[in-house]
Homo-oligomer: A and B are copies of this chain.
Amino acid sequence: MTDTTTLISFFTETREFTERLCKPLEIEDYVVQPIVDVSPPKWHLGHTTWFFEEFILKKYKPDYRVFHEDFAFVFNSYYESVGKRVIRNDRGNLSRPGVAKVYDYRHYVTSELKEYLQDAESSPELESLLEIGIHHEKQHQELLITDIKYILGHNPLLPKYNEKFEEHGPEKHEQHWIDIPEGIYEIGHDADSFCYDNELGRHKVFLHDFEISSKLVTNGEFMEFIEAGGYNQFDLWHAEAWDWLQQQAVSQPMYWHKIEDKWYHFTLNGLVLVNRDSPLTHISYFEAFAFAQWKGCRLPTEFEWEVAAQEFEWGKRWEWTESAYLPYPGYQKPAGAIGEYNGKFMVNQKVLRGSSVATPSNHSRKTYRNFFQTNLRWQYTGIRLAR
């Protein structure tokens, strides 16, 4: 029974926190989708709600009445097993349901689910679905922030989100290299607490000696890379990266602007001077790799990172690793729609480890595996060197 109470309050806080994140928005900000990877905020609000309705209320709550029969269609993201969905690049073309209606939907589902949980007999299956739903919403909290940043940061008026969101505090400690001796190490989640399926299957890996930096790469170090012509030296780049660079005319991190010979970047507090001491962010894997090459270093693998993580502070930037996103030995995709959560993305993406300034509390751990395509930059990504 304590468990249920805890879960209900965890659920309630999560639902409220999502809405709090949207407080600074104008209604218009909820609607747009400037690129396919960035979803409209109201879609995030609806989609996280739909998840609870589709996977819990519809299945478990007796006599549950769906809020609106077309919403499953509008707010499904990529779950092929639960019917048709609005294709991803049409999300920003939908003015309805309006923001007020989406909040109604949220509140209806939140309240129906709380009502149900108070009375329902708890079961491991239900608890597990609820936990996934909550963590799923936390993931979207992070995306909400980065998508809002994209929406505001690509508007010619460069409007602020608020005055308080702290993106760029420097790491105060000195950089040094941490030595990790060669040996067999255990990788993967091994506690009772929540984790995603992709962290399971604890297993052994052999690692050779390596060194890993105690500190993230700073803006100042990356400015040196730019000044040294790093974006123009093809031999630092993968062939695919070089093509991407040419086609997209990339020559600086996302959100950087050079104005009268000074570097500024757009932050959630508006346009500010780049601080040389703060950790670099908004770079793609391609750029992370090229920078490491230029330094005569390399990116760590995800296993090296996980083994060394207790030796350094982390949590400001999602850190690109050299590891491709692949299943652990013995990985089993869960049956049904929940099985579409992770497994089907395990190709042509890179693992990121750590967490970022946008990650909600309780949503990071040493074994957490984030993943993105190699050209994406709108997350708070960063670089930690190894050698």
- Please give the distance in Å from A80's CB to the nearest CB on chain B: 4
Closest to A154 in B: B93
Q: Is A94 close to B, CB under 8 A?
A: yes
Assess A86 versus B156: contact at CB under 8 Å? Given A208-B204, A235-B81, A329-B208.
Answer: yes
Q: Which of A222-280 contact B (CB under 8 A)?
A: 234-235, 237-242
Q: Is the interface of A mostly helix, strand, loop or mixed?
A: mixed
Q: Kindly state the separation between the CA atoms of A335 and B30 in the bound complex, as whole angstroms.
A: 42
Q: Taking the full assembly, how many copies of this chain does it contain?
A: 4
Q: Is the CB of A32 within 8 A of B240?
A: no
Q: Kindly state the separation between the CA atoms of A97 and B26 in the bound complex, as whole angstroms.
A: 10
- Please give the distance in Å from A48's CB to the nearest CB on chain B: 19
Assess A206 versus B235: contact at CB under 8 Å? Given A28-B95, A151-B95.
Answer: no
Q: Is the CB of A240 within 8 A of B27?
A: no
Q: Is A3 close to B, CB under 8 A?
A: no
Tell which of B99, B184, B204, B345 touches A238, judged by Cβ atoms closer than 8 Å: B345
Q: Is A203 close to B, CB under 8 A?
A: yes
Q: Is A322 close to B, CB under 8 A?
A: yes
Assess A92 versus B93: contact at CB under 8 Å? Given A70-B156, A206-B204, A322-B326.
Answer: yes
- Please give the distance in Å from A102's CB to the nearest CB on chain B: 10
Q: Which B residues touch A80, using CB under 8 A?
A: 234-235, 242
- Please give the distance in Å from A147's CB to the nearest CB on chain B: 12
Q: Is the CB of A206 within 8 A of B205?
A: yes
Name 23 interchain pairs, CB-CB below 8 A, sorted by A.
A26-B98, A28-B95, A28-B98, A29-B95, A29-B96, A31-B32, A32-B32, A32-B92, A80-B234, A92-B93, A94-B156, A95-B152, A96-B152, A97-B157, A184-B184, A203-B208, A205-B206, A238-B345, A240-B348, A242-B344, A298-B327, A324-B326, A347-B374
Q: Which B residues touch A96, using CB under 8 A?
A: 26, 28-29, 152, 155, 157, 159
Q: Is the CB of B156 within 8 A of A74?
A: yes
- How many of chain A's residues have a CB under 8 angstroms from any CB in B? 69
Closest to A86 in B: B156
Instruction: List the 8 closest pairs (A to B, CB-CB), nearest first.
Output: A324-B324, A206-B206, A34-B93, A28-B95, A29-B95, A80-B234, A239-B344, A31-B31
Q: Is the CB of A347 within 8 A of B241?
A: yes
Q: Kindly state the separation between the CA atoms of A94 and B86 in the bound complex, as whole angstroms.
A: 21
Q: Is the CB of B235 within 8 A of A339?
A: yes
Closest to A322 in B: B326
- Please give the distance in Å from A88's CB to the nearest CB on chain B: 10
Q: Which of A282-325 contact B (CB under 8 A)?
A: 285-286, 289, 298, 322-324
Assess A238 versus B92: contact at CB under 8 Å? Given A157-B97, A208-B203.
Answer: no
Closest to A373 in B: B348
Q: Which B residues touch A73, using CB under 8 A?
A: 156
Q: Which of A11-41 contact B (CB under 8 A)?
A: 26-34
- Please give the distance in Å from A74's CB to the nearest CB on chain B: 6
Closest to A148 in B: B95
- Please give the distance in Å from A54's CB to the nearest CB on chain B: 17
Q: Which B residues touch A55, using CB under 8 A?
A: none
Q: Is the CB of B234 within 8 A of A206?
A: no
Q: Is A346 close to B, CB under 8 A?
A: yes
Q: Is the CB of B95 within 8 A of A347?
A: no
Closest to A206 in B: B206
Q: Kindly state the separation between the CA atoms of A240 and B80 in the bound complex, as whole angstroms.
A: 13
Q: Is A197 close to B, CB under 8 A?
A: no
Closest to A78 in B: B239
Mark A184-199 against chain B: 1 for CB-CB distance below 8 A, else 0: 1000000000000000
